[in-house]
Chain A
Amino acid sequence: MVRRIAIAAATFAAAATACTAWLAHAKEISLEVDDIVAPAFSARSVRASLSGPGMRELALRIERLTVGGRDWRKVSLTCADLQTSGSRVSCTRGVLDVGEKIPLSFSYASDRGDLTAELKPAADETWQVSGRLAGARTALAARLVNAKLERFNTLLPPSAPKLTAGRASGTIDLQGSAVKARVQLDGIAFADASGLHAAEKIGGTIEVDAASEGKGWRWSTRLAWRAGELFWQPLFLAAKGQRLALEGTTGDGRSDIRSGSLELPEIGTVDLKASWDHERGVLGETEVRSARLRLGALYEQMLKPLLAQTALSDLRAEGDAAVALTASGDGLKSVNVELRAVSLEDREQRRFALFGANGRIPWRQGEATTGELTLEGAEFLKLPIGAVLIPLRLRGTGLAIGAMRVPILDGALALKDFAAGTTTEGWRWRLSGQVEPISMEKLTHAMGLPTMHGAVSGVIPDVRYGRQTLSMDGALAIKVFDGTVTAHDVQLIEPFGRAPRLHAELDMKGLDLELLTRTFDFGTITGRIDAHVAGLELVDWQPVRLDMRIESSPGTYPRRISQRAVQNISALGGAGAAAAIQRSFLRFFEQFGYARIGLSCRLRNGVCEMDGVEKAPQGYVIVKGGGIPSISVIGYNRSVSWRELVERLKRITQENVKPIVK
């Protein structure tokens, strides 16, 4: 900006000098120059003429004017009342034509170099320059009043966003080799064709002080952003009174920011030092640090728009971070992050939260480092998690945690050998560990499920994640309902996708039916069952394929079934048995004996092919009677829609507590 004004002033001066020269030496006044070439501009085919009464009409035409790499064709300067007296030449009714006709006045005294010029493109818009052109003692003052910034579009590279509005007012002073600018900007708008780099209603101030020093310049600049909004893909920022102050030097093909500070209201201050190699276009030694960034405001102002539609789109963030990083031409060299009392909470959906995170995360290029994080607590899918200490080992893009214990309710998840890293196929990680007994009563209560008894515990075998698939080698065992549930060959594909796909084999041994039926209010069945689920496939947590077989566990134990349980099982499989109770003396008994219970389901395409412990005429036996009084339940429907089955189960269990079957 400073440079442009200086160039404009120099152009007027050149024109004026030429005029006086012609007056001194010629009577027939017209002049043609093929080319005028200077480092900052060039003019092709320049024609100047003086005519009219008293030679007072000046016409200067330039076929092609190039300033700063931009071209103007057919630029002209005309003056209807050119005045000359001695060494002074002036014009009060000039017109500069650069596609747009701009009224112009100027006066220049060649003996002392005194110059004043004024462009008045509109009633409220003025571009003025006044001062003296005198070599090293040149002093010029430019004043802008509501200067329209769209005029600079022609100076910008074609790929740059186009200015569509904006005014600048202020002063730019040139004293010898020192420049001082104080400019106020208002209502700036710009946008590129895609709309990915755009701003609206930008207002602020720019202050620049620069002085030549040796072969280069020493400068300082202060920017204040008062109003407006900016979208620079992917970042959206609104004016909050942000300030940037930089001090440095430019020369010898490089610029150095000796000290800089970026003030982000509500967030904190960032200090920086940097250097830039102009020729190679690379960053030199750079240092960015902030002693205290408030994460709540940082999230709200800068990160939230970036994280829309992700799990982190609706956080309440609290706490501070201190950040220090160094970089150079070959990338990041070090990063130090220190967290102080950081809390994050998924606001509406409450899927996760972590409280009181403290610690330090150091990282060095090409070096291994260790850090440590502590959490006072956390919450995951409504499960409260206790204090956790996380020892970190970092190297390159890899992260490892030797061992950590995550307390959950009255138990814990003890993890070891966690290692993560990025590959060309995305994130990969692995871990192993064990579940220290967590009470099922507490667990189901915390998750809002019907109360179950027993405990979850077991060994977590080698779990690996990579290529968007989580897989587990070995078996995961859970102790529940006084029996065991074992899962093996577990594979979870795209766990973070819209429709996660789970493959697993399940084995259940010796589950206590009394605990189970009491939990789901199914009526009472005394006894034990085993279950085997082969080829289980869930998509979006809905079963799409399985081969399930439930049957009474081998062994000797009391086997009784209540009338209500009989009715419920009948309702699941078919109508026959319940009708039998209604019609016979059996309805006088509350409890019956049984010999075996068994039910199988082969689920394909939403239909469950059912079977029981043995064949019955036109059906299959679900409960085979035994003891006195005994009862058998026969199922007649062999094909039942899975959806229908789930609906029936829901209806049965709904009367008591919330249904647990999805």
Chain B
Amino acid sequence: MTRLNALRAFVLVLLLAFAGLAAAQANLEINTPAIAALQRSMQERHAQLQPLYASGAVGLTRDGNVALRDANAVPLAQRAQVNALVAAENQDRAALYREIARANGKPEWESDIRATFAQRWIDKAQPGWYYQNASGAWVRK
């Protein structure tokens, strides 16, 4: 029984090591036409999202997405548009993670790449923006 557990632990360690290796080896700066198109689209949207990050209406989630945090900071008439912006941004982000994984020739790395990006977005966030900590609670940077 203990031997079996030891074996399990060993396999787990091995898997984790490989997962770490995989993330380490992925080229996150890789560029393809698809990635360029997604980055362009996200860049255009960023001008609309920036004031929403600043006001705390939208925050960065721990899984590499953005989410509506507190719509009260947005004028009523624009709240539906904020929903749409968040949905469109998340669609692009999902496609970006998928494309980077594909461009690396490793579609199975998608979730690792997403996790790496989630931390990157939070590191790059400006002071005053909100992000989700590891337990999912909103924190002001």
Query: Taking the nearest CB of chain A, how far is it from the CB of B135, in angstroms?
Result: 19
How many angstroms between the C-alpha atoms of A349 and B15 in the bound complex?
50
Query: Taking the nearest CB of chain B, how far is it from the CB of A194, in angstroms?
Result: 6
Q: A540 contacts B80, CB within 8 Å?
A: no
Contact residues, A473-512 vs B (CB, 8 A): 494, 497-499, 501
- Kindly list chain B residues whose C-beta atoms are within 8 Å of the C-beta of A231: 71, 76-77, 79-80
A195 at the interface (CB under 8 A from B): yes
Residues of B in contact with A (beta carbons under 8 Å apart): 32-38, 41, 57, 68, 70-74, 76-77, 79-81, 83-85, 87-88, 91-92, 95, 99
Q: A194 contacts B71, CB within 8 Å?
A: yes
- Do A196 and B71 contact each other (CB < 8 Å), given the known contacts A230-B76, A236-B76, A499-B34? yes
A539 at the interface (CB under 8 A from B): yes
- Kindly list chain B residues whose C-beta atoms are within 8 Å of the C-beta of A238: 77
- Contact partner, A539, options B33, B68, B87, B88, Cβ 8 Å: B33
How many angstroms between the C-alpha atoms of A234 and B71 in the bound complex?
12
- Kindly list chain A residues whose C-beta atoms are within 8 Å of the C-beta of B38: 498-499
- Contact partner, B80, options A193, A200, A235, A539, Cβ 8 Å: A235
Query: Taking the nearest CB of chain A, how far is it from the CB of B78, in angstroms?
Result: 9
- Kindly list chain A residues whose C-beta atoms are within 8 Å of the C-beta of B41: 498
Q: A498 contacts B91, CB within 8 Å?
A: yes
The chain A residue with its CB closest to the CB of B99 is A499
- Kindly list chain B residues whose C-beta atoms are within 8 Å of the C-beta of A230: 76
Q: B83 contacts A234, CB within 8 Å?
A: yes
Q: A539 contacts B95, CB within 8 Å?
A: no
Q: A539 contacts B76, CB within 8 Å?
A: no
Q: B77 contacts A309, CB within 8 Å?
A: no
A198 at the interface (CB under 8 A from B): yes
A310 at the interface (CB under 8 A from B): yes
Instruction: Enumerate the 8 nearest inter-chain pairs by beta-carbon distance, A residue then B residue, closest first.
Output: A195-B71, A195-B72, A305-B80, A542-B33, A499-B34, A309-B84, A308-B84, A539-B34
- Kindly list chain B residues whose C-beta atoms are within 8 Å of the C-beta of A397: none
How many angstroms between the C-alpha atoms of A354 and B87 in the bound complex?
27
Q: B91 contacts A198, CB within 8 Å?
A: no
- Do A236 and B79 contact each other (CB < 8 Å), given the known contacts A191-B72, A194-B71, A309-B85? yes
Please indicate which of the listed interface residues A195, A236, A307 has the most CB atoms of chain B within 10 Å of its own CB: A195
Report A238-255 CB contacts with B as 1/0, cut-off 8 Å.
100000000000000000
How many angstroms between the C-alpha atoms of A42 and B41 in the bound complex?
61
Q: B33 contacts A498, CB within 8 Å?
A: no
- Do A194 and B68 contact each other (CB < 8 Å), given the known contacts A234-B83, A308-B81? yes
The chain A residue with its CB closest to the CB of B92 is A498
The chain B residue with its CB closest to the CB of A238 is B77
How many angstroms between the C-alpha atoms of A191 and B36 in the bound complex?
40
How many angstroms between the C-alpha atoms of A498 and B57 in the bound complex?
25
- Do A499 and B76 contact each other (CB < 8 Å), given the known contacts A540-B37, A544-B33? no
- Kindly list chain B residues whose C-beta atoms are within 8 Å of the C-beta of A308: 80-81, 83-85
Q: A306 contacts B80, CB within 8 Å?
A: yes
